[in-house]
Structure 1
Amino acid sequence: MDMDVDMQEMSGREREYANYLPDELLLQVLDCLPRSEESQVALAKFVLVSRQWYAVGIGRLYAHPFLVGQRYTNFVRTICPSVIPRIKRSELAGLVKSLDLSRIVHQGAKSTTARLLGRTKNNLELFVAPQASFAINCWAALSKCTALKVLDLGLVSEAISYQSLNQTLRQLGELKALYMPRCSTEFGAGPELLTTRLHWPPSLQHLTMSGSINGRFLWQMVRQPETFPSTLSSVALLHSPGLDAAGAKSLLLNLADRLTVVELRDLPAVKQGKFNNVLAWLPHLRELTVAIDYIDEDFGRRPDEWTAESHWHLAKRLESLTLVTCGLHDFDPRRAFNLVDVWDLIDTRFLGRLRKLRAAKSTGWDRANEGDEWTTVKLLLEALDKENWERRRWHYEGLTGVPAEMKYEEWLETAEGWRGRPRAVMLRNV
Structure 2
Amino acid sequence: MIQYANYLPDELLLEVLVHLERWEIRERQTALARFSAVNRQWYDVAIRPLYEAPYLSGRAYELFVRTICPSVLAHIKPTALSGLVKALDLSHIVHQGSKSTTARLLGRTKTSLQIFIAPQASFAINCWASLSKCVRLRVLDLSLVSECISFQSLNQTVRQLGDLRELYLPRCSSNYEGITLSMNVRWPPKLQHLSLSGSVSGKFLWDMLRQPDNFPPTFASLSILHSPALDHQGIKALLCNLADSLTVVELRDLPIVKQGRFNRVLDWLPNLTSLTVALDYIDTRFGNMPPDFCPGRWRESKSLQSLTLVTSGKTGDPSRSFTAIDLYSLMDERFLGRLRYLNIAQSTDWENENEGAELDKENWMHRRWHYEGLTYPGTAEMTYERWTAETGMGQRMRPRLRILRNR
Question: What residue number does 2:148 align with?
Answer: 159
Q: What secondary structure is seen at the aligned counterpart in 2 of 1:73?
A: helix
Alignment of 1:316-355 (within 5 A): 316-329=302-315, 331-355=316-340
Aligned residues: 403
Alignment of 1:254-333 (within 5 A): 254-309=241-296, 311-329=297-315, 331-333=316-318
Moved more, 172-181 or 298-307: 298-307
Q: Which amino acid aligns with 2:333?
A: T
Query: 2 CA distance for matches of 1:426 and 1:41?
Result: 31
Alignment of 1:3-402 (within 5 A): 18-33=5-20, 34=22, 36-189=25-178, 191-193=180-182, 196-309=183-296, 311-329=297-315, 331-366=316-351, 374-375=352-353, 378=354, 380-402=355-377
CA contact (8 A) 2:177 2:204 kept: no
Query: 1 CA distance for matches of 2:95 and 2:397?
Result: 43
Q: What secondary structure is seen at the aligned counterpart in 2 of 1:425?
A: strand
Query: 2 CA distance for matches of 1:123 and 1:415?
Result: 36
Question: What residue number does 1:426 align with?
Answer: 403
**TM-score (structure 2 length as normaliser):** 0.96
Query: 2 CA distance for matches of 1:110 and 1:160?
Result: 13
Question: What residue number does 1:409 align with?
Answer: 385
Q: What secondary structure is seen at the aligned counterpart in 2 of 1:173?
A: coil
CA contact (8 A) 2:138 2:164 kept: yes
* Per-residue Cα deviation, 1:76-109 (whole angstroms, up to 9, x for no partner): 0000001111111111000000000000011121
Q: What secondary structure is seen at the aligned counterpart in 2 of 1:163?
A: helix
Q: What secondary structure is seen at the aligned counterpart in 2 of 1:192?
A: coil
1:301 deviates by 2.2
* Per-residue Cα deviation, 1:13-38 (whole angstroms, up to 9, x for no partner): x66xx111111111111011125111
Query: 2 CA distance for matches of 1:400 and 1:177?
Result: 35
1:188 deviates by 4.8
* Per-residue Cα deviation, 1:96-150 (whole angstroms, up to 9, x for no partner): 0000000001112100000000000100000000000000000000000000000
1:328 deviates by 1.9
1:304 deviates by 1.7
* Per-residue Cα deviation, 1:125-177 (whole angstroms, up to 9, x for no partner): 00000000000000000000000000000000011000000000011000101
Gap change, CA 1:190 and 1:22, over 3 Å in 2: closer
Q: What secondary structure is seen at the aligned counterpart in 1 of 2:381?
A: coil
Query: 1 CA distance for matches of 2:131 and 2:324?
Result: 46
Query: 2 CA distance for matches of 1:235 and 1:188?
Result: 22
Query: 2 CA distance for matches of 1:40 and 1:54?
Result: 14
Query: 1 CA distance for matches of 2:177 and 2:201?
Result: 14
* Per-residue Cα deviation, 1:30-79 (whole angstroms, up to 9, x for no partner): 01112511111000000011111101110000001000110001000000
User: What is the percent sequence identity of the aligned residues?
Assistant: 61
Q: What secondary structure is seen at the aligned counterpart in 2 of 1:185?
A: coil
Q: What secondary structure is seen at the aligned counterpart in 1 of 2:111?
A: coil
1:405 deviates by 2.6
1:356 deviates by 1.0
Q: What secondary structure is seen at the aligned counterpart in 2 of 1:58?
A: helix
RMSD, aligned α-carbons: 1.4
1:199 deviates by 1.4
Q: What secondary structure is seen at the aligned counterpart in 2 of 1:178?
A: strand
**Greater gyration radius:** 1
Q: What secondary structure is seen at the aligned counterpart in 2 of 1:160?
A: coil
Query: 2 CA distance for matches of 1:353 and 1:182?
Result: 34
1:383 deviates by 0.3
